[in-house]
Amino acid sequence: MIYDIDIAKQVAKYLLQINAIILKPNNPFLWAAGWNSPIYCDNRKTLSYPEIRNYIRQGLSAIVKNHYKGANVIAGVATAGIPHGALVAEELGLPFIYVRAKAKEHGKQNQIEGHFEEGQSVVLVEDLISSGKSSLDAARVLKEAGMQVKGIVSIFTYGFDAAAENFKNADCEYVSLSDYNTLLPQAIESQYIEESDLAILKQWRENPSIWKFMAPTNQ
């Protein structure tokens, strides 16, 4: 779910403004997962813009303070969630740790980096939620280490049904600053797309793993 509709709209505008989100309904991207997609999202770009970076930091911090009260550790999900998690931890004056996708193959072979104690309450910070798999894997690692996972916060989510199901099955909730449904009206308002593009963009979100772009035929 999104935290606040006005914040969601502003975050969507910012992401479009700096091309952190690019929409190409008629010339889709190919994701690493093999999916064809009319959208590409790289929220790491927000780090290069102080005004936007600070707005996101304040928004994510507000979610932690108001929705996940009592959290005493912030955890970044590697890799893109690490810098935003560190910014949130700084804003809230809380300890910061991060979770690797897999344990290191050398040294202490840590998967969790930073100091933490069993029983502490933690909120994970993620930049983007698609299926939710990487976020939920990180949450599982923290739970197995004895921490209490209160939830996950993110900058943006596609709002896939598969993600909702995955989070439900894992008994974990997430709150995002913005989402796909909020993005599309902002993209039209900002003239990034045309009204005629909406059908393609909405169709993709319904079943992204099998979606194929079909160019309109001239009658």
Q: Which residues are within 8 A (CB) of 50 and not within 5 positions of it... i.e. 6 or more apart?
A: none
Say if residue 38's pLDDT is above 90: yes
Q: What is the mean pLDDT of the chain?
A: 93
Least confident range of 35-39, 93-97, 104-108 = 104-108
3-state class of 19 per DSSP?
coil
**What is the average pLDDT across 185-207?**
92
Give the tens place of pLDDT for each residue, 120-156. 999 999 999 999 999 999 999 999 999 999 999 999 9
Say if residue 219's pLDDT is above 50: no
Q: Are 89 and 95 in contact (CB under 8 A)?
A: yes
pLDDT recorded at residue 123? 98
* 73-77, strands of its sheet edge to edge: 112-113, 96-99, 73-77, 121-129, 148-157, 174-179
Domains and CATH numbers, the chain: 5-206 (3.40.50.2020)
Give the tens place of pLDDT for each residue, 10-30. 999 999 999 999 999 988 998
d(C-alpha 3, C-alpha 194), whole Å: 27
d(C-alpha 88, C-alpha 127), whole Å: 12
The full DSSP string for 181-210 is HHHHHHHHHTTSS-GGGHHHHHHHHHSTTT
**How much is the pTM?**
0.93
